[in-house]
């Protein structure tokens, strides 16, 4: 049994595929099936350790990015995509997998296109309430489509689409409270704000937090994932901003939070401020209240739609970038952290939204199709 995983080169595309791979390996072991050969086909390996830990072989392809703005690279990308499709055709023909699982994104196009030409079944998973272009296209001929949001149903053929929820890695679904304050060097008894800007960080979100940081550290502790490329700049700015602040040690910046650090941060957090991509589902798994700040111009405006669809369930507050004034963000943080009843209701709504067996459902369907195809 051979299974190819493919998706764009972001955490939101990559880690759900890892969650599915984990469940494939578990099911195979539980049911005494032959161990599958797993491959990840994309433009880069993203996280080599995660691939190695799950027995996944990386297969590189090339792909062009569909940009919504002018760039000289737009003229080169069709050639890169063409080369990527040819390489994917050769690689898939050589491997001839039983099924391809796609998370979408520009890096998934070569593998999915090649799979269609070779008549290899494709399973598509869509994380957003409005699908990206790659998945909207692939969903037309995919064998199965899984969606994280009921709102995404209307974009795919109903007879082969199921709302499974979002695959989240098992080790991230349960926050670690025991020892979390000690691990992060936080004091007990003081509320904790966790700020998540995604795997690459979020400059706008960082700037907004820094603008209100002297006010925040008076009453709260802040664990801030800045993005590794932004950490040095943030450290330089906070050394000035918090120079005379009595509680300056209440601010804990991290370029990147490892799986263990993320579990600890989630366990310690009383409120999370985040973008509105796939991180929503981790926040929901943790049962934590959140303030979501969607990217102003995301593909298909998906982050904004995700944020408001989630907020309608009572699990979050949305602050749009156009309204992201320091006073507004500070006011919302203080309002939520100051109301324990509100936080409890938001946390309960978050838990109700999360579907814990998404990765297993997709993995089981992939194995079923693979065995039938083989």
Give 195's strand partners.
Answer: 224, 273
As a whole number of angstroms, the distance between CA 213 and CA 241 comes to 8
346 and 361 assigned to the same domain: no
187 and 294 assigned to the same domain: yes
C-beta separation of 156 from 145 below 8 A:
yes
When pLDDT is averaged across residues 105-119 and rounded to a whole number, the result is 95
pLDDT value for 78:
74
The kind and range of the H/E element at 40 are: strand 37-42
Is pLDDT of 178 > 80?
yes
For residue 348, what are the domain limits? 172-353
When pLDDT is averaged across residues 112-135 and rounded to a whole number, the result is 95
Reduced to 3 states, what is the DSSP secondary structure of residue 102? strand
CATH assignment of the domain containing 129: 3.40.50.2000
pLDDT tens profile 46-86: 999 999 999 999 999 988 665 454 555 565 677 788 898 99
pLDDT tens profile 235-271: 999 999 999 888 999 999 999 999 999 999 999 999 9
109 and 148 assigned to the same domain: yes
pLDDT value for 203:
84
190 and 108 assigned to the same domain: no
As a whole number of angstroms, the distance between CA 257 and CA 173 comes to 15
pLDDT tens profile 330-371: 999 999 999 999 999 999 999 999 999 999 999 999 999 999
Name the DSSP class of 271.
E
275 phi, psi to nearest 5 deg:
-70, 180
135: number of Cβ within 10 Å: 26
338: number of Cβ within 10 Å: 11
191 and 48 assigned to the same domain: no
9 and 75 assigned to the same domain: yes
What total number of domains does the chain contain? 2
188 and 44 assigned to the same domain: no
pLDDT value for 67:
46
pLDDT value for 68:
53
Is pLDDT of 115 > 70?
yes
pLDDT tens profile 185-223: 999 999 999 999 865 557 889 999 999 999 999 999 999
72 and 157 assigned to the same domain: yes
Note the pTM of the prediction, 2 decimals. 0.91
C-beta separation of 272 from 292 below 8 A:
no
98 and 183 assigned to the same domain: no
> Torsion-angle region of residue 287: left (phi > 0), alpha (psi -120 to 50) or beta?
left
Residue that wins the pLDDT comparison between 336 and 323? 336
pLDDT value for 302:
87
8 and 157 assigned to the same domain: yes
158 and 184 assigned to the same domain: no
C-beta separation of 177 from 268 below 8 A:
yes
17 and 120 assigned to the same domain: yes
């Amino acid at each position: 049994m051979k299974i190819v995983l493919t998706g764009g080169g972001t955490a939101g595309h990559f880690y759900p595929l890892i969650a599915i791979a984990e469940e494939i390996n578990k099911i195979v072991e539980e049911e005494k099936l032959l161990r599958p050969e797993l491959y990840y086909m994309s433009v880069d390996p993203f996280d080599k350790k995660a691939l190695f830990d799950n027995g996944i072989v990386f297969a590189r392809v090339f792909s062009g990015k569909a940009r919504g703005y002018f760039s000289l690279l737009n003229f080169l990308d069709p050639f890169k995509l063409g080369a990527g499709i040819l390489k994917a055709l050769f690689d898939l023909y050589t491997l001839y997998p039983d099924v391809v699982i796609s998370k979408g994104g520009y890096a998934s196009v070569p593998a999915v296109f090649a799979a269609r030409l070779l008549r290899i079944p494709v399973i598509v998973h869509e994380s957003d309430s409005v699908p990206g272009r790659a998945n909207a296209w692939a969903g037309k001929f995919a064998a199965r489509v899984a969606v994280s949001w009921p709102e995404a149903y209307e974009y795919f053929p109903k007879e082969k689409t199921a709302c499974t929820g979002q695959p989240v890695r098992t080790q991230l679904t349960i926050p670690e409270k025991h020892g979390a304050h000690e691990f992060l060097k936080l004091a007990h008894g003081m509320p904790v704000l966790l700020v998540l800007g995604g795997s690459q960080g979020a400059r706008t979100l960082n700037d907004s937090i820094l603008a209100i940081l002297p006010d925040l550290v008076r009453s709260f502790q802040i664990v801030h994932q800045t993005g590794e490329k932004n950490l040095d700049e943030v450290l330089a700015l906070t050394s000035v901003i918090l120079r005379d602040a009595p509680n300056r040690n209440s601010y804990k910046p991290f370029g990147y939070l490892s799986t263990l650090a993320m579990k600890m941060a989630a366990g310690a957090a009383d409120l999370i401020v985040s973008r509105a991509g796939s991180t929503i589902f981790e926040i929901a798994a943790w049962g934590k209240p959140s303030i979501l700040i969607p990217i102003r111009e995301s593909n298909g405006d998906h982050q904004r739609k995700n944020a408001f669809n989630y907020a309608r369930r009572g699990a979050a507050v949305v602050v749009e970038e156009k309204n992201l004034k320091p006073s507004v963000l500070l006011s919302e943080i203080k309002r939520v952290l100051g109301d324990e009843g509100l936080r409890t209701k938001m946390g309960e709504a978050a838990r109700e939204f999360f579907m814990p067996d998404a990765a297993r459902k997709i993995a089981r369907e992939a194995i079923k199709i693979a065995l039938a195809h083989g």
